[in-house]
Amino acid sequence: MTLCMSHSPGFARDHEEADGHQFRAGVASVREIVEAWDPTLVVFFGSDHRRAFGEILPAISVVLSAEGLGDSESPTGPYDVPKETARGLAAHLLGADFDVAITRHIALDHGFGQTTADILGGLDSRPVIPIFINCATFPLARPGRSAELGRAVAEYFKASDERVLFIGSGGMSHNPPTLALTSEGLSEEERRAVSAAHREAAKDDIRPEWDREMLGRLESDDTAWTDDVTTEELQAGGVGAHELRTWFAAYTAGGQGMKTVAYEPVREWLTGLGIAVSRGAYDLHMPRQR
Protein backbone atom coordinates (compact mmCIF):
# COMPACT_ATOMS: atom_id res chain seq x y z
CA MET A 1 0.00 0.00 0.00
CA THR A 2 1.15 3.53 -0.72
CA LEU A 3 0.22 6.83 0.92
CA CYS A 4 1.40 10.21 -0.36
CA MET A 5 0.55 13.17 1.83
CA SER A 6 1.46 16.80 2.38
CA HIS A 7 2.67 18.05 5.74
CA SER A 8 2.53 21.60 7.08
CA PRO A 9 3.54 23.31 10.32
CA GLY A 10 0.37 25.38 9.90
CA PHE A 11 -1.72 22.22 10.29
CA ALA A 12 -0.08 21.41 13.61
CA ARG A 13 -0.36 24.97 14.92
CA ASP A 14 -4.02 25.45 14.00
CA HIS A 15 -5.36 24.21 17.34
CA GLU A 16 -8.77 25.80 16.80
CA GLU A 17 -9.11 23.99 13.44
CA ALA A 18 -10.00 27.19 11.64
CA ASP A 19 -8.61 26.11 8.26
CA GLY A 20 -8.00 23.06 6.11
CA HIS A 21 -11.28 21.27 6.71
CA GLN A 22 -11.10 19.16 3.53
CA PHE A 23 -7.53 18.19 4.31
CA ARG A 24 -8.44 17.27 7.90
CA ALA A 25 -11.25 15.03 6.65
CA GLY A 26 -8.80 13.38 4.26
CA VAL A 27 -6.33 12.72 7.08
CA ALA A 28 -9.07 11.06 9.12
CA SER A 29 -10.05 8.89 6.13
CA VAL A 30 -6.56 7.66 5.33
CA ARG A 31 -5.85 7.03 9.01
CA GLU A 32 -8.76 4.59 9.00
CA ILE A 33 -7.60 3.04 5.73
CA VAL A 34 -4.13 2.43 7.17
CA GLU A 35 -5.57 0.97 10.37
CA ALA A 36 -7.78 -1.39 8.36
CA TRP A 37 -4.90 -2.42 6.10
CA ASP A 38 -2.77 -3.01 9.22
CA PRO A 39 0.83 -2.76 7.92
CA THR A 40 3.55 -4.66 9.75
CA LEU A 41 6.24 -2.30 8.45
CA VAL A 42 6.31 1.30 7.21
CA VAL A 43 8.96 2.54 4.80
CA PHE A 44 8.84 6.32 5.11
CA PHE A 45 10.38 8.49 2.39
CA GLY A 46 10.79 11.91 3.99
CA SER A 47 12.63 15.19 3.73
CA ASP A 48 14.35 17.63 6.06
CA HIS A 49 14.11 21.41 6.38
CA ARG A 50 17.81 22.13 6.96
CA ARG A 51 17.53 21.06 10.58
CA ALA A 52 18.46 17.41 11.03
CA PHE A 53 21.19 17.20 8.40
CA GLY A 54 23.72 20.01 8.72
CA GLU A 55 27.43 19.66 8.14
CA ILE A 56 26.99 16.43 6.19
CA LEU A 57 24.13 16.41 3.69
CA PRO A 58 23.55 13.18 1.77
CA ALA A 59 21.32 12.96 -1.26
CA ILE A 60 19.79 9.74 0.13
CA SER A 61 20.22 8.08 3.51
CA VAL A 62 18.73 5.02 5.21
CA VAL A 63 18.22 5.77 8.89
CA LEU A 64 19.03 3.03 11.42
CA SER A 65 17.84 4.82 14.57
CA ALA A 66 15.84 8.02 15.04
CA GLU A 67 13.90 10.23 17.40
CA GLY A 68 11.56 13.15 16.86
CA LEU A 69 13.09 16.63 16.89
CA GLY A 70 9.94 18.32 18.14
CA ASP A 71 10.10 21.34 15.82
CA SER A 72 6.89 23.04 14.65
CA GLU A 73 4.93 21.11 17.29
CA SER A 74 5.97 17.78 15.81
CA PRO A 75 6.33 14.87 18.26
CA THR A 76 9.39 13.82 20.23
CA GLY A 77 10.46 10.39 21.40
CA PRO A 78 11.94 7.36 19.64
CA TYR A 79 10.94 5.78 16.37
CA ASP A 80 10.66 2.00 16.31
CA VAL A 81 13.25 1.34 13.60
CA PRO A 82 14.01 -2.34 12.86
CA LYS A 83 17.76 -1.80 12.59
CA GLU A 84 18.75 -5.07 10.94
CA THR A 85 16.04 -4.79 8.31
CA ALA A 86 17.12 -1.21 7.61
CA ARG A 87 20.74 -2.31 7.36
CA GLY A 88 19.79 -5.10 4.96
CA LEU A 89 17.84 -2.63 2.84
CA ALA A 90 20.85 -0.30 2.68
CA ALA A 91 23.07 -3.18 1.58
CA HIS A 92 20.55 -4.09 -1.11
CA LEU A 93 20.47 -0.51 -2.39
CA LEU A 94 24.26 -0.35 -2.51
CA GLY A 95 24.18 -3.55 -4.56
CA ALA A 96 21.68 -1.89 -6.88
CA ASP A 97 24.12 0.99 -7.54
CA PHE A 98 22.61 3.49 -5.14
CA ASP A 99 25.42 5.14 -3.19
CA VAL A 100 23.23 5.63 -0.15
CA ALA A 101 24.49 6.97 3.16
CA ILE A 102 23.78 5.34 6.50
CA THR A 103 22.58 7.50 9.37
CA ARG A 104 23.20 5.66 12.63
CA HIS A 105 21.06 8.01 14.73
CA ILE A 106 19.35 11.33 14.12
CA ALA A 107 16.57 13.60 15.38
CA LEU A 108 14.17 13.94 12.43
CA ASP A 109 12.10 17.08 12.00
CA HIS A 110 8.43 17.50 11.07
CA GLY A 111 9.11 16.25 7.54
CA PHE A 112 8.91 12.79 9.09
CA GLY A 113 7.30 13.32 12.48
CA GLN A 114 4.10 15.11 11.59
CA THR A 115 2.75 12.55 9.11
CA THR A 116 3.98 9.61 11.20
CA ALA A 117 2.02 10.84 14.21
CA ASP A 118 -1.06 11.94 12.24
CA ILE A 119 -1.43 8.62 10.41
CA LEU A 120 0.13 5.98 12.68
CA GLY A 121 -0.73 7.56 16.03
CA GLY A 122 2.83 7.99 17.29
CA LEU A 123 6.47 7.69 16.31
CA ASP A 124 6.78 4.20 17.81
CA SER A 125 3.29 2.91 16.99
CA ARG A 126 4.57 0.68 14.18
CA PRO A 127 8.00 -0.34 12.89
CA VAL A 128 9.27 2.41 10.57
CA ILE A 129 12.33 2.61 8.33
CA PRO A 130 12.97 6.29 7.56
CA ILE A 131 14.62 6.99 4.23
CA PHE A 132 15.81 10.57 3.89
CA ILE A 133 15.68 12.15 0.43
CA ASN A 134 17.25 15.59 0.16
CA CYS A 135 14.60 17.91 -1.25
CA ALA A 136 15.67 21.27 0.13
CA THR A 137 19.12 22.30 -1.04
CA PHE A 138 22.19 21.27 -3.02
CA PRO A 139 22.94 18.41 -3.71
CA LEU A 140 19.55 17.67 -5.25
CA ALA A 141 19.46 14.45 -7.25
CA ARG A 142 17.25 14.52 -10.34
CA PRO A 143 13.61 13.73 -9.48
CA GLY A 144 13.68 10.54 -11.53
CA ARG A 145 16.36 9.14 -9.24
CA SER A 146 13.77 9.09 -6.44
CA ALA A 147 11.49 7.05 -8.68
CA GLU A 148 14.29 4.58 -9.33
CA LEU A 149 14.97 4.44 -5.59
CA GLY A 150 11.36 3.50 -4.89
CA ARG A 151 11.48 0.60 -7.34
CA ALA A 152 14.74 -0.67 -5.81
CA VAL A 153 13.28 -0.49 -2.30
CA ALA A 154 10.21 -2.43 -3.43
CA GLU A 155 12.43 -5.11 -4.93
CA TYR A 156 14.03 -5.71 -1.53
CA PHE A 157 10.65 -6.45 0.05
CA LYS A 158 9.26 -8.42 -2.88
CA ALA A 159 9.80 -11.82 -1.25
CA SER A 160 9.09 -10.58 2.28
CA ASP A 161 6.12 -11.56 4.40
CA GLU A 162 5.86 -7.98 5.65
CA ARG A 163 2.76 -5.94 4.85
CA VAL A 164 4.67 -2.83 3.81
CA LEU A 165 3.16 0.63 3.77
CA PHE A 166 5.17 3.05 1.65
CA ILE A 167 4.72 6.69 2.70
CA GLY A 168 5.92 9.78 0.87
CA SER A 169 5.51 13.02 2.82
CA GLY A 170 5.86 16.57 1.54
CA GLY A 171 4.63 19.06 -1.04
CA MET A 172 2.56 20.02 -2.85
CA SER A 173 3.02 23.53 -4.24
CA HIS A 174 4.45 25.94 -1.71
CA ASN A 175 7.32 28.38 -1.50
CA PRO A 176 8.20 28.76 2.19
CA PRO A 177 10.37 31.82 2.81
CA THR A 178 12.81 29.94 5.04
CA LEU A 179 13.71 27.70 2.09
CA ALA A 180 13.09 30.05 -0.83
CA LEU A 181 15.11 33.00 0.46
CA THR A 182 18.03 31.26 2.20
CA SER A 183 20.51 28.59 1.23
CA GLU A 184 21.76 27.48 4.66
CA GLY A 185 20.24 26.37 7.94
CA LEU A 186 18.83 29.02 10.27
CA SER A 187 18.27 29.15 13.98
CA GLU A 188 14.64 28.85 15.06
CA GLU A 189 14.62 32.55 15.93
CA GLU A 190 15.95 33.44 12.48
CA ARG A 191 13.37 31.16 10.87
CA ARG A 192 10.52 32.92 12.65
CA ALA A 193 11.83 36.34 11.59
CA VAL A 194 12.18 35.39 7.91
CA SER A 195 8.80 33.69 7.87
CA ALA A 196 7.04 36.64 9.50
CA ALA A 197 8.58 39.14 7.09
CA HIS A 198 7.57 37.24 3.95
CA ARG A 199 4.54 35.23 5.05
CA GLU A 200 1.89 37.27 3.22
CA ALA A 201 3.71 37.05 -0.10
CA ALA A 202 4.10 33.29 0.28
CA LYS A 203 0.31 32.87 0.48
CA ASP A 204 0.18 33.70 -3.23
CA ASP A 205 2.69 31.01 -4.16
CA ILE A 206 0.24 28.09 -4.08
CA ARG A 207 -0.43 26.64 -7.56
CA PRO A 208 -3.71 24.65 -7.44
CA GLU A 209 -3.78 23.89 -11.16
CA TRP A 210 -0.22 22.57 -11.00
CA ASP A 211 -1.10 20.45 -7.98
CA ARG A 212 -4.20 18.97 -9.58
CA GLU A 213 -2.29 18.13 -12.75
CA MET A 214 0.31 16.26 -10.66
CA LEU A 215 -2.39 14.37 -8.76
CA GLY A 216 -3.92 13.41 -12.09
CA ARG A 217 -0.63 12.04 -13.38
CA LEU A 218 -0.27 9.93 -10.22
CA GLU A 219 -3.45 8.04 -11.18
CA SER A 220 -1.53 6.08 -13.81
CA ASP A 221 -0.48 2.48 -13.13
CA ASP A 222 2.47 3.15 -15.43
CA THR A 223 4.98 4.95 -13.22
CA ALA A 224 7.51 5.48 -16.02
CA TRP A 225 6.58 9.16 -16.42
CA THR A 226 8.30 9.96 -13.13
CA ASP A 227 11.66 9.05 -14.65
CA ASP A 228 11.49 12.10 -16.91
CA VAL A 229 10.30 14.75 -14.45
CA THR A 230 12.85 17.56 -14.28
CA THR A 231 13.97 19.80 -11.45
CA GLU A 232 12.60 22.74 -13.41
CA GLU A 233 9.14 21.15 -13.56
CA LEU A 234 9.07 20.78 -9.78
CA GLN A 235 10.38 24.30 -9.29
CA ALA A 236 7.25 25.57 -11.04
CA GLY A 237 5.39 24.56 -7.88
CA GLY A 238 7.80 26.45 -5.64
CA VAL A 239 10.84 25.32 -3.72
CA GLY A 240 8.63 23.23 -1.43
CA ALA A 241 7.33 21.23 -4.38
CA HIS A 242 10.71 19.51 -4.59
CA GLU A 243 9.45 17.39 -1.70
CA LEU A 244 7.37 15.48 -4.27
CA ARG A 245 10.53 13.45 -4.78
CA THR A 246 9.33 11.56 -1.70
CA TRP A 247 5.98 10.94 -3.39
CA PHE A 248 7.69 9.59 -6.51
CA ALA A 249 9.67 7.11 -4.41
CA ALA A 250 6.58 5.87 -2.57
CA TYR A 251 4.48 5.77 -5.76
CA THR A 252 6.96 3.69 -7.71
CA ALA A 253 7.58 1.44 -4.70
CA GLY A 254 3.86 0.67 -4.59
CA GLY A 255 3.74 0.25 -8.37
CA GLN A 256 0.06 1.16 -8.61
CA GLY A 257 -1.96 4.19 -9.60
CA MET A 258 -3.07 6.56 -6.85
CA LYS A 259 -6.50 7.90 -5.95
CA THR A 260 -6.83 11.42 -4.60
CA VAL A 261 -8.50 11.42 -1.18
CA ALA A 262 -8.29 15.16 -0.60
CA TYR A 263 -6.84 18.31 -2.09
CA GLU A 264 -7.10 21.80 -0.63
CA PRO A 265 -5.03 24.95 -1.10
CA VAL A 266 -4.78 26.52 2.36
CA ARG A 267 -3.45 30.06 2.17
CA GLU A 268 -2.96 30.42 5.90
CA TRP A 269 -0.68 27.37 5.80
CA LEU A 270 1.06 28.62 2.62
CA THR A 271 0.61 25.22 0.99
CA GLY A 272 -1.37 23.20 -1.52
CA LEU A 273 -2.24 20.13 0.53
CA GLY A 274 -2.85 16.78 -1.13
CA ILE A 275 -3.48 13.22 0.01
CA ALA A 276 -3.46 10.19 -2.28
CA VAL A 277 -3.51 6.44 -1.62
CA SER A 278 -2.92 3.46 -3.87
CA ARG A 279 -6.03 2.50 -5.79
CA GLY A 280 -6.29 -0.99 -4.30
CA ALA A 281 -6.39 0.31 -0.74
CA TYR A 282 -8.80 3.09 -1.72
CA ASP A 283 -11.25 0.74 -3.44
CA LEU A 284 -11.14 -1.76 -0.57
CA HIS A 285 -11.58 0.64 2.31
CA MET A 286 -12.92 4.00 1.16
CA PRO A 287 -16.55 2.79 0.75
CA ARG A 288 -16.66 2.57 4.53
CA GLN A 289 -15.99 6.31 4.64
CA ARG A 290 -18.81 7.29 2.30
User: Please, what is the average pLDDT of the chain?
Assistant: 92
Specify the fold of 2-289: Protocatechuate 4,5-dioxygenase; Chain B (3.40.830)
Catalytic sites, residue numbers: 110, 174
**Rounded distance between C-alpha atoms, residue 254 and residue 266, angstroms:** 28
pLDDT of 89: 98
pLDDT of 51: 78
Please give the C-alpha separations between residue 117 and each of 7, 26, 75, 158, 275, in angstroms, as whole numbers: 11, 15, 7, 27, 15
Q: Could you tell me which of 249, 247, 258, 245 has the C-alpha nearest to residue 216?
A: 258
pLDDT digits (tens, 9 = 90+) for 36-72: 999 999 999 999 887 788 788 899 999 999 999 998 8
Angle at 271 between CA 52 and CA 232, to 5 degrees: 80
Would you mind telling me the total number of residues written for the chain in this entry?
A: 290
pLDDT mean for each 10 residues of the chain (290 residues): 96 94 97 96 93 86 97 94 98 97 96 96 97 89 96 96 97 78 67 66 88 98 97 93 97 97 96 96 70
Which string of b and e fits 5-40 if b means at least 16 CB within 10 Å? bbbbbbbbebeeeebbeebbebbebbeebbeebebe
pLDDT of 290: 45
pLDDT digits (tens, 9 = 90+) for 161-197: 999 999 999 999 998 756 655 666 667 677 667 666 6
| Beta pairing class for 164-169 and 2-5 | parallel
**Rounded distance between C-alpha atoms, residue 87 and residue 168, angstroms:** 20
Per-domain boundaries in the chain: 2-289
- Check: CB of residue 30 under 8 Å from CB of residue 250: no
Listed in order, strand segments (DSSP E) in 177-281 are: 258-266, 271-278
Q: What is the secondary structure of 199-225 as a DSSP string?
A: HHHHGGG--HHHHHHHHHHTT-S-GGG
